[in-house]
Amino acid sequence: MRTAKLIRISLILALFTALLAACALPAPPQEQPALTGDALRVENAWARPSPMSAGNGAVYLTIVNPTDQADRLVAADSPAAENVELHETVNDGGVMRMEPRPDGFPVEPKSIVELKPGGKHVMLLGLKEPLEVGQEIQVTLTFEKAGEITVTAPVKEMGEGMEMGK
C-alpha cells in the first residue's frame, strides 16, 4: 500500500522534472564550445524541422573565434533552399518578430557568437523539400576574413516551448 503510493509520487515527480527540463531546453543539448585553437570555426550546427505546410526553415550554430582578429559572418547559402538569409529575431514591445540582417553578424576577436532559437539565425527560404528529424543539410557560411566554411547541419527536434521566434 505504502509502496504503491511512493511509486505514484515518484512517477509524478519524474514527469514534472521531464516537463521542467523540456521547458528549460531551447535547443538540443550540445557540447559547450571553448575558445581554443588558432582559427575561426563553426560548431554545433543544426536545423529545426520545418512544419508540413511551411516552406521555410532555420539553421542555428555557434561561431568560435579564438583569434585576435575581428571577423564578420556576411552570407550563408545552402543547396536545401532557394534563398538563404541572415536574420535576427527581436522582441518588439512583447511581439517577437524577425528582421533580415543584410550586413550579417560581427564576430569580435576571442569571442563566441551563438545563432540560436529566438535570436540570430540562418533563414532558409523556399525549402526544396521539408526538413525532417534525422536528415542532414549542408550550409556554407561566408566570413569576411575566414572565407567560406561549409558545415553539415542535422535536423533536430526543438526543445518544448520554443515554437515561436525562429
Interaction site with Cu ion (CB under 5 A): 87, 98, 123
* Residue spans of alpha helices (H) in 101-165: none
CB nearer to Cu ion: give 88 or 144: 88
Which residue, 47 or 98, has its beta carbon nearer to Cu ion? 98
Q: How far apart are CA 69 and CA 94, in angstroms?
A: 36
- Grid cell of 128 as nine digits: 526544396
Distance CA 66, CA 34 (A): 9
Tell me how far, at minimum, the Cβ of 89 lies from Cu ion, in Å: 7
What minimum distance in Å lies between the beta carbon of 164 and Cu ion?
Answer: 12
Which residues is 95 bridged to in the sheet? 92
Complex with Cu ion: residue 65 or 78, whichever CB lies closer: 78
Shortest Cβ 93–Cu ion spacing (Å): 19
